[in-house]
Structure 1
Amino acid sequence: MGRLLAIDFGKVRTGIAVTDELQLIASGLTTVQTKDLLTFLKDYTDKEAVELFLVGEPKQMNNEPSESEALISNFLKKLEKAIPAIPIKRVDERFTSKMAFQTMIDSGLSKKQRKNKALVDEISATLILQNYLHYK
């Protein structure tokens, strides 16, 4: 059984989370510069067995795609071409950034630590993955 890998795609940075091999626990992996994302994913999947990519799907409150969807769609075409053996599933990511910020507060992180946008992105990816595991 391979890992599940969640991607919280951003224009500048992208948060990444993975499961263990048994797909029981979601853990934040890292945050990478979006320009380096495809290279990172190729390298990671060369070293680790990944069964599925879960990519956050940002939607507005009226269920319409957000403005960042065009960037994500463009990236997904490149990802499918670069790593065709791993399927991609989209997951609603509404409120994950707010939930990530609240998680940071609940964890007792200082105000300075909560300003770390990379950490917010990584936690958001972890929440996307954890929600998927919960409902799977």
Structure 2
Amino acid sequence: MAQILAIDFGKKRTGIAVTDDLQIIASGLTTVNTEELIPFLKEYISKENVELFLIGEPKQMDNTESESEELIRPFIEKLKKAIPSIPFKRVDERFTSKMAFQTMIDGGLTKKQRRNKALVDEISATIILQSYLYK
């Protein structure tokens, strides 16, 4: 088996989470500036065995696309061209930011630590990955 890598795509920053090789545990990996995302992914997969990308799919409450989807579609096209050997799946990411923030509160992080948007993005990617693994 190989890792699954989850992507919480954002306009400025993108949160990334990965599984272990047995795909049992989801862990936050990092947050990357979005403009550096494709080079980061290429570098990561050159060192690690990744079999699937999960990409968050932002939806409205009525199940329609979020505005953010317009930013994600071009990224997916670039990803397919840059790394055609690894397939991707989309995962509903509704409420992940709120869940990430609550996780930070439950984990005892201070207000200052909870303002770290990069950490929120990384935790959101982990939640996306967990939702896929534990379906």
TM-score > 0.5 by shorter chain:
yes
1:100 correspondence with 2:100: yes
SS in 2 for 1:62: coil
1:21 correspondence with 2:21: yes
The CA deviation at 1:115 is 0.1
Residue 127 (structure 1) aligns with: 127
Q: Distance in 1 between matches of 2:61 and 2:35?
A: 28
Q: Distance in 1 between matches of 2:2 and 2:84?
A: 15
Identity %: 75
How many residues end up aligned between the 2 structures? 135
The CA deviation at 1:6 is 0.1
Q: Distance in 1 between matches of 2:31 and 2:131?
A: 19
The CA deviation at 1:126 is 0.2
Structure 2: gaps (5+ residues): none
Residue 52 (structure 2) aligns with: 52
Residue 36 (structure 2) aligns with: 36
SS in 1 for 2:134: helix
SS in 2 for 1:23: coil
The CA deviation at 1:42 is 0.4
Structure 1: gaps (5+ residues): none
1:84 correspondence with 2:77: no
Q: Distance in 2 between matches of 1:120 and 1:49?
A: 26
TM-score (norm 2): 0.99
Q: Distance in 1 between matches of 2:71 and 2:105?
A: 30
TM-score (norm 1): 0.99
Q: RMSD of the alignment, in Å?
A: 0.3
Q: Distance in 1 between matches of 2:63 and 2:124?
A: 19
